[in-house]
A and B are shown apart, each in its own frame.
Chain A
Amino acid sequence: MEPILEVRNLRKEFQGFSLKNVSFTLEKGYIMGFIGPNGAGKSTTIKLIMNLIHKDGGEIKVFGLDNVKYEKEIKERIGFVFDENYFYDELTISEVKRVVAPLYRKWDNELFHKYIKEFSLPLKKKIKHLSKGMKMKLSLAIALSHHAELLIMDEPTSGLDPVIRSELLDILFTFIQDENKSVFFSTHITSDLDKIADYITFINDGEIIFSCPKDEIVENYGLVKGPKELLHSDIQQYLIGVKENQFGFEALVKDKQKIKRMAGDNIIVEKPSLEDIIVCFQRGM
């Protein structure tokens, strides 16, 4: 079965920053979290997928189709939810629907109204009078109402309170019950992904550091805490992003079993959160 999203050797040069050889694959039926610190290249990658900017090299395929050649067909089947802007401020939700619905071949009006009801969105209100959470839900309602198969979300939860973020996760969990659908979720708020992501792709400074199942990361990577003396021992080469304090150090390791065998009782090894991983890698740069 072909992957729903495939990026290979993607390259883009800017002044002072470049995406180098970005590659990853997302299969149908899964949620991929796309994480990395600010400025790492997350938005650039998504803009390249959406054809907002032009690539310098590499290949992007969505539903097995080239993303530039088949742009329109692809966008019929994609739902895009992004952070900054949603719709025209001056239009009401009904008006937005009037404009947007005919753009999609598979628009399902009944489904749209079902979501409007479920998300409690006021049809007659202008976009500018909606809260940030409501705007995000409207984006989602529209994305879901044309039977999108792939949801691409670029920082959808920034600025939203934990309650709405949790509601969003519920919606995504329901979405993914259909094993032909996928979600590509780019964010720097990794706590959302700690639960829901199946795969994690980590980008830093324009390069992919890893792209693998979240379970693998959480089981193999470890957050090591130990005495400073160990910094001069064998394990030093395996430590990523060492942070020293007065009483010891903290660092990330890729293979925690190995480090446990090497250092034994001298250290504590904990399960790292995705945030720990990003911070340590960033520190290590």
Chain B
Amino acid sequence: MFQLILKDILLLKKIFLFAAAYIIVMMFLKEDSAVVFFVSVIVVTYMLILSACAHDDKNKADILLNSFPLTRRTVVMARYCSIFVFSVIAIMYYLVIAHILQMTGLSAQAHSVSLENVAAALCAVIFINSVYFPVFFKFGYIHSRLVSFILFFGTFALAPAFFEQADHPLVRDVIHYFPHLSEGKGMAIVAAVMMFLLAVSFFFSLQFYRKREF
């Protein structure tokens, strides 16, 4: 399975450069560092995952990988693992670039990142891909492009709307619930929900991919 992730990394060399450029541009364009971080991580992870899927589609990986001693389960697992691998890469990228910009004095603000920022970005990434992957594994890359597009832009459209709705009683309850818990517990619940989402998503992806015929 790690070989499959290695394969993706080898293929995405050009994207890594592009990602660095994107982050730098974003840092100069936006003020709010939390927003810059959030958006950067999601966008970079999105670019990496989608490009990896595109490469697989272009090179008929479904047939190619099938000829190796790999089960379909391993292929699906690798995609899900890549969510974490790529988001970690995106986060590291961000931190390194922020650090460099600060050291060289090119950037005025301190682009600090809190644990909540990381959690929020990860949640968004997990959410997007948990919905995307089952569609990808059922219909293939080409027919799931629309869905990924909607998901991606939907997240950006909804996020501000979500914050605007802060006055809605349900939302207020949800937000107020968390401060009642210690930070650790709050995090743990969020993590559990995300893991559950991933597990359900994985289950469906696996079922879909196993049934497919090439």
Touch test A–B (CB under 8 Å): yes
Give A residues with C-beta under 8 Å from B: 47, 50-54, 71-73, 75-76, 78, 80, 82, 84-91, 95, 98-100, 102-104
A73 to B68, CA, bound (A): 10
Contact between B69 and A88 (Cβ–Cβ < 8 Å)?
no
Given A75-B67, A103-B69, also A52-B213 (CB < 8 A): yes
For residue A104, which residues in chain B have a CB less than 8 angstroms away from its CB? 68-69
Q: Does B17 sit within 8 A of A, measured CB to CB?
A: no
B112: interface (CB < 8 Å): no
Question: Contact: A102 with B71, CB < 8 Å?
Answer: no
Cα distance A90–B56 in the bound complex, in angstroms: 11
Interface residues in B37-71 by Cβ distance below 8 A to A read: 55, 58-61, 63-64, 66-71
Interchain Cβ contacts under 8 Å between A and B, 7 examples: A50-B67, A75-B70, A86-B64, A89-B59, A99-B3, A102-B3, A103-B70
Which residue of B61, B66, B68, B70 has the most chain A CB atoms within 10 A of its CB atom? B68
Bound form: Cα–Cα A84–B10 in Å: 22
- Is B214 at the interface (CB under 8 A from chain A)? yes
B82 to chain A, nearest CB (A): 14
| Alpha-carbon separation in the docked complex, A224 to B97 (Å) | 79
- Nearest B residue to A74 via CB reads B69
Using A52-B213, A103-B3 as known contacts, say yes or no to A82 and B70 having CB atoms under 8 A apart: no
Interface contact B55-A88, CB-CB below 8 Å: yes
Given A52-B63, A87-B64, A88-B11, verify A72-B69 contact (CB < 8 Å).
yes
Contact yes or no, A98 B6, CB < 8 A? yes
B-side binding surface: helix, strand, loop or mixed? helix
CB <8 Å contact, A103 and B68? yes
Determine if A100 and B68 form an interchain contact, defined as CB atoms under 8 angstroms apart.
Answer: yes
Instruction: Tell me the minimal C-beta distance from B2 to chain A in angstroms.
Output: 8
With A and B bound together, what is the CA distance between A78 and B10 in angstroms?
Answer: 26
Q: How far is the CA of A91 from the CA of B58 in the complex (A)?
A: 13
Q: Give the distance in Å from the alpha carbon of A195 to the alpha carbon of B71 in the complex.
A: 37
User: Are A72 and B59 closer than 8 Å at their CB atoms?
Assistant: no
Q: Name B55's closest neighbour in chain A (CB-CB).
A: A88
Given known contacts A51-B66, A102-B3, is B11 in contact with A71 (CB within 8 Å)? no
User: How far does the Cβ of B77 sit from chain A's closest Cβ, in whole Å?
Assistant: 14
Contacting pair A87 B59 (CB below 8 A): yes
Interface string of B90-125 (1 = CB under 8 A from A): 000000000000000000000000000000000000
Inter-chain CA distance A47–B66, complex, in Å, is 10
A51 CA to B64 CA in the complex, in Å? 12
Please give me the residue from chain B that is nearest to A72 by CB atom. B69
A138 to chain B, nearest CB (A): 13
- B7 in contact (CB, < 8 A): yes
Chain A nearest Cβ from B137, distance in angstroms: 15
A106 → B minimal CB distance (Å):
10
Selected contact of B66 from candidates A50, A76, A87, A88, CB within 8 Å: A50
Distance from B32 Cβ to chain A, minimum over Cβ atoms (Å): 37
Q: Does B214 contact A85, Cβ atoms closer than 8 Å?
A: no
Q: Are A47 and B214 in contact (CB under 8 A)?
A: yes
Q: Is there contact, CB below 8 Å, between A91 and B63? A: no
Nearest CB in chain A: distance from B211 CB, A: 8
| Contact of A80 with B6 in the complex, beta carbons under 8 Å | no
- Contact A91:B10 (CB < 8 A) given known A53-B213, A85-B64: yes
Complex: A47 Cα to B71 Cα, angstroms = 15
Most chain A beta-carbon neighbours within 10 Å: one of B61, B69, B211: B69
Contact partners of A89 in chain B: CB under 8 A: 58-59
* Proximity bits, B1-41, A CB within 8 Å = 1, else 0: 00110110011000000000000000000000000000000
